């Protein structure tokens, strides 16, 4: 079986070096899901028989600190009229359940390929459609003419960041540490650094 290998350069840049524009100029925030918005890798917690988060029983995934900070972050981005996208290969229903239950009750699942008004309706938080590929949202953003420098992509996996930047050069990105918690403080630290 052929497997795609993507080499990671030895001198991978530090993530904070790549946040170059201001918060005001950044209009679209794209987040990976597993271990970017969550502490556990939820996709790996699920097996093929149990694709619903409820089926895991006692939630091993639930981390109150992570969810509380994420809730504040999402509400802040929403209030500041930012577009939030979740780009993931995890199941749509798992992401939907997790975010609605733990983070943001107004979360909406939309097919951004057929419902183009998503971009202009800031009341909705969107998730990419798994079957369409994790990075198809970048293609749509390109079609909409969204400048690369107004997009911030956040992922815990540098290989994924490389793919995103190959698809959309000059996109801003943040390579998150696995134990780092996304929060308002985090947002402040990346946009208000010296």
Q: Which of 35, 69, 102, 183 binds Mg ion (CB under 5 A)?
A: 35
The Cβ of residue 38 has, within 10 Å, a number of other Cβ atoms equal to 25
Distance CA 131, CA 136 (A): 10
Identify which of residues 27 and 160 has a Cβ nearer to Mg ion in the complex.
160
Long-range Cβ pairs for the range 176-182 (8 Å, 24+):
176/15, 176/36, 178/35, 181/65, 181/66, 181/69, 182/31, 182/36, 182/37, 182/66, 182/69, 182/70, 182/73, 182/154
Contact 104, 126 (CB under 8 A): no
CB of 41 to Mg ion, least distance (A): 7
Nearer to Mg ion, 38 or 172 (CB): 38
Nearer to Mg ion, 34 or 128 (CB): 34
Q: Which two tokens stand for residue 33?
A: 């899901």
Among 29-37, 62-70, 96-104, 132-140, which window interacts with Mg ion (CB under 5 A)?
A: 29-37
The residues in 129-158 that bind Mg ion, with binding defined as CB under 5 A, are 156
Asked whether position 128 contacts Mg ion by CB under 5 A, the answer is no
| Choice from 29, 31, 34, 112 touching Mg ion (CB under 5 A) | 34
CB of 114 to Mg ion, least distance (A): 26
Smaller CB distance to Mg ion: residue 18 or 122?
18
Integer Cα distance of 172 and 104 in angstroms: 25
**E-strand stretches of 93-139:** 126-127
Q: Centre a 10 Å sphere on the Cβ of residue 140 and count the other Cβ atoms it contains.
A: 17
Give the nearest distance from C-beta 186 to Mg ion in angstroms: 16
Size of the residue set binding Mg ion (CB under 5 A): 5
Nearest distance from C-beta of residue 84 to Mg ion, angstroms: 16
Which residue of 28, 29, 32, 94 would you call a contact of Mg ion, by CB under 5 A? 32
Q: Which is nearer to Mg ion, 83 or 90 (CB)?
A: 90
CB contact at 8 A, 172 and 147: no
Smallest separation, CB 43 to Mg ion (Å): 8
* Residue ranges that bind Mg ion, judged by CB under 5 A: 32, 34-36, 156
């Amino acid at each position: 079986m052929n497997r795609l290998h993507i080499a990671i350069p030895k001198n991978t840049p530090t993530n904070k070096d790549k946040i170059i524009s201001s918060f005001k100029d950044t209009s679209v925030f794209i987040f990976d899901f597993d271990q970017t918005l969550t502490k556990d890798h939820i996709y790996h917690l699920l097996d093929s028989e149990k694709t619903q988060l409820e089926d895991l029983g006692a939630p091993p995934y639930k981390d109150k600190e992570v969810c509380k900070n994420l809730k504040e972050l999402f509400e802040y981005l929403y209030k500041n009229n930012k577009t939030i996208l979740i780009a993931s290969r995890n199941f749509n229903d798992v992401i939907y359940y997790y975010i609605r239950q733990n983070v943001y009750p107004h979360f909406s699942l939309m097919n951004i390929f057929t419902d183009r008004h998503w971009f202009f309706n800031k009341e909705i938080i969107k998730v990419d459609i798994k079957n369409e590929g994790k990075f198809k949202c970048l293609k749509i953003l390109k079609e909409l003419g969204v400048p690369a420098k107004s997009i911030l992509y956040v992922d815990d996996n540098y290989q994924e960041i490389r793919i995103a930047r190959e698809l959309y050069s000059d996109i801003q990105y943040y390579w998150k540490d696995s134990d780092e918690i996304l929060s308002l403080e985090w947002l402040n630290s990346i946009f208000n650094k010296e």
